[in-house]
A and B are shown apart, each in its own frame.
Chain A
């Protein structure tokens, strides 16, 4: 296992300019383009000892390795995004040699061209809505309950107030999602993130990606800010602009599918 494999980051139309100097990919290697049939795959050399199936399987269980690799993958996709609209690939797409990469471009050529046309000039924005913990009801402040009945009354009030706050936050999540969907060309709803995994406080009520033309991004971001800011029941997090990862699959469902997805 002393050989090298080819790690593929993205498929693009021919780039209008070379990648800037200093861009480094996975394992610190310099990315370059493999051309075939009017498309190019942006690749770099990676050690077989890390990226052959068995070592890769082991590495994928190692969160530190995974983060380093994911950030390196993202750095190349970011550099490409500054030049063109890349079709970003799934992490750790690896071929034995450049011939294999060319074959993949040949096999998928029609789909890639159609997808690149569909995504050209678009970026992806991620929006997450979290419920913020309800503030303590006024009745709970101050003196200790005078009786068991008083205790139960306050307890019920607390629960009701928390439930109301959550219902209000969920409603705002739905309103926000509907408004943003109307401004987006396509939408994907991700499963809610587990707060223990994301280490983010508050229940994740919405986790969605929106496909937006670059020139309408400012408007889209402004909408997120206006709808999300200053509402005491929620925290809204915006990430982007991403290369259109969530919309890159050739068999991706259309808008209709997106509307069917539940907003949790």
Chain B
């Protein structure tokens, strides 16, 4: 961060640790002064659901297939670990 950055752009400043400088934070209309690390679900919305896709990568196609399962597994494990998973019995989604 020694070189001149094109322009400063933090509308909220300064970013406090543990945030990376310029990294996204979350604020909320109920607690406008509290900044939180972005939630995993928001991060995954972007990192798995969007972002550019390159040709020839080894993992092309994994995200599309597994997104549904990740969502379901995360949901089920966070809600109730005892709920049987819907793909048991050789019925992958």
Contacts and interface: CB of A to CB of B under 8 A. Distances in A.
Given A20-B2, A93-B54, A239 B42 contact: yes
A239 B57 CA distance: 30
A42 to B, nearest CB: 12
A40 B44 CA distance: 24
Nearest to B12: A221
A51 B62 CA distance: 12
B81 interface: no
B43 A115 contact: no
A126 B39 CA distance: 12
A104 B57 contact: yes
Contact of B75 (A11, A194, A245): A194
Contact of A215 (B9, B42, B52): B9
A199 B3 contact: no
B50 interface: yes
Interface residues of B, number: 57
Contact of B20 (A57, A79, A234, A240): A79
A52 B44 CA distance: 20
B82 to A, nearest CB: 15
Contacts of B79: 196
B51 A199 contact: no
A230 B28 CA distance: 11
A260 interface: no
B43 to A, nearest CB: 5
Contact of A90 (B7, B40, B47): B47
Contacts of A194: 71, 75
A92 B51 contact: no
| B9, B58, B73 — most chain A CB neighbours (10 Å) | B58
Contacts of A147: none
Interface string B29-63: 11010000011111111111111111111110011
Interface in A204-245: 207, 209, 214-215, 217-218, 221, 225, 228-231, 234-242, 245
A176 B58 CA distance: 41
18 contacts: A8-B57, A16-B3, A67-B40, A78-B22, A83-B5, A87-B52, A88-B51, A89-B51, A90-B52, A104-B54, A104-B57, A215-B9, A238-B26, A239-B42, A241-B9, A245-B47, A245-B50, A249-B51
